[in-house]
Copies of this chain bind each other. A is one copy, B any other.
Amino acid sequence: MYAADADAGVDADTRDRSGERPMTNEERSDATRTRILDAAIARFTFEGYDATSVADVCHAAGVSKGAFYHHFDTKQEVFVALLEPWLAELDAAVTEVLAREESAPRRLIHLATLVNRVTAEGRGRIPMFLEFWRQAAKDPSVWHVTVEPYRRFRASFVRLVNEGVDEGSLRPVDPDLTALVLVSLGVGLVLQGALDPECAARGDLGERAIALLLDGISSGGTP
């Protein structure tokens, strides 16, 4: 979603790169904001939130501290702003999966591996994922941003399990419990990847793990 680093050209000047036309205020603003976000996510990812100073971000973004605080009230606001597109991305992926014309178990597999996909993309996002969890567990305002998408995520699992039970492709299991298991498994797999490189290397492992689980609660032949 965001570029890796913004150390490149410090040419966020008043003219855009094509040539002579002065940038509008809005363009200028957007550009700066983006540079800050780009730099911030790179730093937060690889150094952690606390270890990243605002000055660091500003330097990497080629932007002054004044500009930074012109766009964001606090450092944490940047973090939240970073979270939002991420959660949106997950949300979009979820609705896409839900809409597929596949059996419930198959869609459940895809759903459960989404966390892994969205998170592990590019390998660098895992620390950011941890960071996010920590902040959410600690800071109420971050938690609040998080909790709604999370509930939706869980809910879509419940819905799919219900569907599966109804259409008979799943044994009559407790939907809430099963949803919890699937979400936990997805999240847990990400953490395993963070701790154990061998685990992270095997990308399809998550899919196989979840398939194993689903196979257990499926009724009859391979779904």
Chain B residue nearest to A184 (CB atoms) is B188
Instruction: Report the bound CA distance from A147 to B192 in whole Å.
Output: 11
Copies of this chain, count: 2
A residues 150-191 near B (Cβ < 8 Å) are: 150, 173-174, 177-178, 180-181, 183-189, 191
Pick the contact of A209: B138, B143, B177, B216 (CB < 8 A): B177
- Given A213-B216, A217-B216: A188 in contact with B183 (beta carbons within 8 A): yes
Please, what's the 1-or-0 string for A113-157, where 1 marks a CB less than 8 Å from any CB in chain B? Answer: 000000000000011001101101110000100110010000000
| Chain A contacts to B: CB under 8 angstroms | 48, 50-51, 126-127, 130-131, 133-134, 136-138, 143, 146-147, 150, 173-174, 177-178, 180-181, 183-189, 191-192, 194-196, 199, 205, 208-209, 212-213, 215-217
